[in-house]
Chains A and B, each alone.
Chain A
Amino acid sequence: MNWSNVKLILAREVRDQLRDRRTVFMIVVLPLLLYPLLGMSFLQILHLMQEQPTSVLIVGYEETDDAPALLENDHFAPNLFRKPGKHRLLKLHFAGIEPDEEGVSVWAAARINTAEEAREAVLDGHYDAALFFPEDFAERLGHVRSLHAEWAQHAGDKADSKGVVRRPPVLPAVPQPEIFYTTANEKSQIAFARLFDVLRRWREEISRANLIVGGLPPTAVHPFEVETSDIARETGTSGIAAWAKILPVMLLIWALTGAFYPAIDLCAGEKERGTLETLLCSPAERSQIVCGKLLTVMLFSIVTAVLNILSVGLTGWLVLARMPGFGAPPPGAALWLLLALIPISALFSALCLALAAFARSSKEGQYYLMPLLLVTMPLVILPMAPSVELTLGTSLIPITNIVLLLRSLLEGHYWLAVQYSLPVVAVTLVCCLLAIRWAVDQFNQESVLFHESERLSMGLWLQHLRRDRMPTPSVGAAVFCGVLILVVKFFMSFSVAKPNDFGDLAEILIVTQLAVILTPALLMTILFTRRPMQTLLLGRDAWRPKLLLAVPAAFLLALAINPLANAAQLMIMRLYPIDPDVLALEGLFKEAPNLGIMLLLIAVLPGICEELAFRGFILSGFRHMGYKWRAIIWSSILFGFTHIILQQQLLAALVGVVIGFIAVQTGNLLPGIAFHVTHNSLALLISKITPEMYQRSAWLQSIMEPVDGSFAYRTSALVVAAMFSIILLFWFHQLPCRKSEEEELREAIKIGGEEPWENEEPDQTEADSLTDDQRKPITIAADN
């Protein structure tokens, strides 16, 4: 890579962005102003919410005149509140009394007398809540107290004279006061909470008074108090948990936003203004252009995130730290956030750049923000769930893993972070590279760089797909088919009831294979390709005699790979233990009438249907990408996703790579089917091995050993299997693989010594030293 051009492009783009007022505003001014303003208004709103008085109607206030007093000067007694002055927050209105204050408009408090009327008044919103004391409430309360007093007087002498302790009197029930409020109104709920608190304290006062009258110490009902102590508060680390949750999410959101807008301006904007073509016909390589732009976007992403976090930190330190549960941000936060920011912004920048390159105009680019957010937000939000912690499993989920790693670093769990830092870094790096690759690819597609906006017309488009169909499907068609299968399968999994017996299960399996997987692939093959048989790898030239040898070879390869697959599966299961629910489903297989039907359902049917779809239609489509291995891997990923649980998906994707390789090398579907059927059958048969069978067969004992109630291959068997697999894979490798046109073109360009986007130092002499033969222009066959 010629870095001088990259530096040049980077410098220009940065200067260009800094001259754009919108960018500077978004990146510098907004964060510096936003958070202090937000913090201020948040505090004010909070203040307002707490200080807002609520109006309460009291019906039957005459019934509360007893000591201890509930009311004092038209308010609840101040000693019934925890904090002084809060009694003013409950504005009381008394039924049957006209308000004496001037200008206070109280809705006909004078006219209300009954509980029913009070209820209506609250319902109509005239008061936030109403407190109703029934008639003779005070009288009966007084009666209870006098009973207490009487009992206390006589208790001593009665017990002494007869030697029997007199039982306390049976107290008559006191009629209940009632609070009317409505949860449909937030203010009413606040009023209720305040009222309830006041009444509770009043009740405590009354019971304390009663106890004293009855001659008992007040501690009788409060034998002990609970003391709480927050260690975090003592050590000054309070609020770290909250910061550890907020800061990583904030970092990700701002890294994404900071990357998005410059990316749109740098790609879609340039396209729109016509300067991209100018740049593309300069000697700068596509990869240099992408690299320069990527670094620019990354720089802006980092600066945006840093400024935002700084501003948040400052605001938090100054304002939020005063709130309970919040302390200053944890120490060392800045370092960890900065460290994590680099891979995060690299990933987001590459993603945004690729999307922006795809957009025709800045306006179209803006539309892509929402889908991008929809995809990334769940990954960012997932770690917010309390039970999600850094494990090997979660450390493999992109984005989520960085958030979790950051969180454990911020919380000070350094050892945990160190343990999982390797998978997190590896996964992030792979994602970054993929995203960058995608961005570079976008810049190499002339249809993306030069497509003019055309009016969207579904009919025309479908017509175009049918009329201009190629011999084999396009990459887009392959992706569509794969996604269609996944989506239909997803909806089916919800609409179908859980299977109860083997019959249900068999039905689901058959419908899934035939309707969900096979039908879309076959329909699309017939409708959108010119050579259906070639697409499905069943064409005439697939039947060359040497290739027919490939069927037994594939069968042998499946035998050889089975121990490896088995070991891989055990390893996957150890990483991600299977849910017991799923295991229960597997129990249904035991109800199968016989092994033959099982094999048919689990091996033969999927072997044929899935091969036709994934190695037939989809892989044939992906071959147009121009890279054999990329085609195989993408088709395998889609293949993996059609399996239900994660554990199966991982293994299936790996197996898919092997079958894809066989299909590409032989150009024929049958060896792949042979492999698939054998592979699935063996997996089934191994699960059928019983301890008795194992005891009887010396042969089984030589290759397998019992592990946790089932059987696994011995290490020696694994080594032998690996050797045979390599030999067989090599045999497939040396077959004359038929390349697609795109693959041939790539190869021709490679032989020509210069990939269009790979840089080479400008070197006149090298070009001159090319022989005439090498310089002979290549001619590529027309499309049809």
Chain B
Amino acid sequence: MIYVDGLSKHYADLRRGWFVALDGISFHAKPGEIFGLLGPNGAGKTTTLRILATLLRPTTGSVSVNGYDVLMQPSKVRRQIGFMSANTAIYDRMTAWEMVEYFGRLHDIGREELRQRMEDVFTRLKMNDIRDLLGAKMSTGMKQKVSIARAIIHDPPVLIFDEATAGLDVLVARALLDTVAELRDHGKCIIFSTHIMREAEKLCDQLAIVYQGRILAEGSLNELRTRYDEHDLEELFFQLISSTASEDKAEEAAAISQ
């Protein structure tokens, strides 16, 4: 469903020079499973997902989503995905209904079909009481629901959630996670990035631990546990990261002493 092969992304950065945000990462995600990208802030999760959503162009490497290349066929890729991140806000001066309808129509869904789907989605996400509420007047939880409705209205095979639970309270976050799990059960291919271990543990079928633009480890939760002989995901995560950091330091020291 999603194939990422040797993906790198470089930015020009005043302080650090050419900043390597992604350093040749590869993974693939299948339908009906949730692929988790787990990593600290600045690890490169958002960059990866923005490239998947064709918002950024890869520097090297190839990415294909449902058979379409992000660089060559960006508009086709965008039809395959529902993208939701902390940055994909909703319009202040639009009601929930108008907002979802707008994106549905951008996806070329016929009027009658769109209406049916919207009724369905609004009922499923329990949004019927905020139909005519303007975005500016909504609570964070309501906004989040509208965002999800917006991302799934065209019934995309691939869903991308980038730190989707950031800034949500426990109840709203839990509702969101339930929705994501439900979407997986409908056979969607889901990519879910987070820095919260509990979420990753609960939700993800496959996990990739990302740090400094590289994937340190990849596999199902159980595979990782057996491979590193550590049951607690948080401990496992720390071990991986601290060993990489010390390796880096050793390399730097070696480079300086030369």
> Which residues does A use to contact B, with CB under 8 Å?
4-5, 8-9, 12, 15-16, 19-20, 273-275, 277-278, 280-285, 446-447, 449-450, 454, 457, 460-461, 463-464, 467-468, 748-749, 752-754, 756, 759-760, 762, 767, 775, 777-784
Rounded to whole Å, the gap between the CB of B70 and the closest CB of chain A is: 9
Q: Is the interface of B mostly helix, strand, loop or mixed?
A: mixed
Q: A467-B17, A777-B62 are in contact. Are A280 and B55 (CB under 8 A)?
A: yes
| Structural contact, A12 and B94, CB atoms closer than 8 A | yes
A630 to B237, CA, bound (A): 50
| Structural contact, A16 and B74, CB atoms closer than 8 A | no
- Across-interface contacts of B91 in A (CB, < 8 A): 16, 273, 275
- Across-interface contacts of B88 in A (CB, < 8 A): 274-275, 277-278, 281
> Which residues does B use to contact A, with CB under 8 Å?
5-6, 8, 10, 12-15, 17-18, 50, 53-57, 59-64, 67-69, 71-76, 78-79, 81, 83, 85, 87-94, 102-103, 105-108, 147, 150
Residue of chain A at shortest CB distance from B134: A19
Q: A283-B106, A464-B14 are in contact. Are A19 and B74 (CB under 8 A)?
A: no
A461 to B12, CA, bound (A): 11
**Interchain CB contact (< 8 A) of A277 among B68, B87, B108:** B87
| Structural contact, B72 and A752, CB atoms closer than 8 A | yes
| Structural contact, B79 and A275, CB atoms closer than 8 A | no
A770 to B76, CA, bound (A): 14
**Interchain CB contact (< 8 A) of A468 among B18, B55, B71, B105:** B18
Q: A8-B102, A277-B55, A752-B69 are in contact. Are A767 and B12 (CB under 8 A)?
A: no
Residue of chain A at shortest CB distance from B105: A8
Q: A450-B56, A464-B17, A779-B62 are in contact. Are A767 and B107 (CB under 8 A)?
A: no
- Across-interface contacts of A754 in B (CB, < 8 A): 72-76
Rounded to whole Å, the gap between the CB of A2 and the closest CB of chain B is: 9
| Structural contact, A281 and B106, CB atoms closer than 8 A | no
Can you report 25 A-B residue pairs in the complex whose CB atoms are below 8 A from each other?
A4-B108, A8-B105, A8-B106, A277-B85, A277-B88, A278-B90, A278-B150, A281-B54, A281-B78, A282-B103, A282-B107, A454-B14, A463-B14, A464-B17, A468-B18, A753-B72, A754-B72, A756-B74, A759-B75, A762-B75, A762-B76, A778-B62, A778-B71, A779-B62, A782-B10
| Structural contact, A783 and B59, CB atoms closer than 8 A | yes
A728 to B5, CA, bound (A): 46
Residue of chain A at shortest CB distance from B3: A777
Q: A12-B102, A277-B87 are in contact. Are A778 and B72 (CB under 8 A)?
A: yes
- Across-interface contacts of B56 in A (CB, < 8 A): 446, 450
**Interchain CB contact (< 8 A) of B107 among A283, A749, A779:** A283
| Structural contact, B72 and A782, CB atoms closer than 8 A | no
- Across-interface contacts of B150 in A (CB, < 8 A): 278
Q: A460-B14, A467-B17, A783-B59 are in contact. Are A281 and B93 (CB under 8 A)?
A: no
Among B50, B71, B75, chain A packs the most CB atoms within 10 A around the CB of B75
| Structural contact, A281 and B53, CB atoms closer than 8 A | yes
A449 to B53, CA, bound (A): 14
Q: A278-B150, A779-B60 are in contact. List 17 more A-B contacts (CB 8 A).
A: A4-B108, A8-B102, A8-B105, A20-B93, A274-B88, A274-B89, A275-B90, A278-B90, A282-B78, A464-B14, A752-B73, A760-B75, A767-B73, A777-B69, A777-B72, A779-B6, A780-B60
Rounded to whole Å, the gap between the CB of A584 and the closest CB of chain B is: 51
Among B5, B73, B85, chain A packs the most CB atoms within 10 A around the CB of B73
| Structural contact, A283 and B90, CB atoms closer than 8 A | no
Rounded to whole Å, the gap between the CB of A244 and the closest CB of chain B is: 41
- Across-interface contacts of A280 in B (CB, < 8 A): 55
- Across-interface contacts of A16 in B (CB, < 8 A): 91, 93-94
- Across-interface contacts of A284 in B (CB, < 8 A): 106
A425 to B93, CA, bound (A): 38
| Structural contact, B17 and A762, CB atoms closer than 8 A | no
- Across-interface contacts of A749 in B (CB, < 8 A): 71-72
- Across-interface contacts of A457 in B (CB, < 8 A): 14
**Interchain CB contact (< 8 A) of B89 among A19, A273, A461:** A273
| Structural contact, B12 and A468, CB atoms closer than 8 A | yes
A15 to B14, CA, bound (A): 40
| Structural contact, B18 and A762, CB atoms closer than 8 A | no
Q: A446-B56, A759-B75, A767-B68 are in contact. Are A5 and B62 (CB under 8 A)?
A: no
Among A275, A461, A781, chain B packs the most CB atoms within 10 A around the CB of A275
| Structural contact, A767 and B62, CB atoms closer than 8 A | no
- Across-interface contacts of B10 in A (CB, < 8 A): 782-783
| Structural contact, A782 and B8, CB atoms closer than 8 A | yes
A15 to B238, CA, bound (A): 50
| Structural contact, B53 and A285, CB atoms closer than 8 A | no
Residue of chain B at shortest CB distance from A762: B79
| Structural contact, B87 and A281, CB atoms closer than 8 A | no
| Structural contact, B92 and A273, CB atoms closer than 8 A | yes
Rounded to whole Å, the gap between the CB of A319 and the closest CB of chain B is: 38
| Structural contact, A285 and B75, CB atoms closer than 8 A | yes
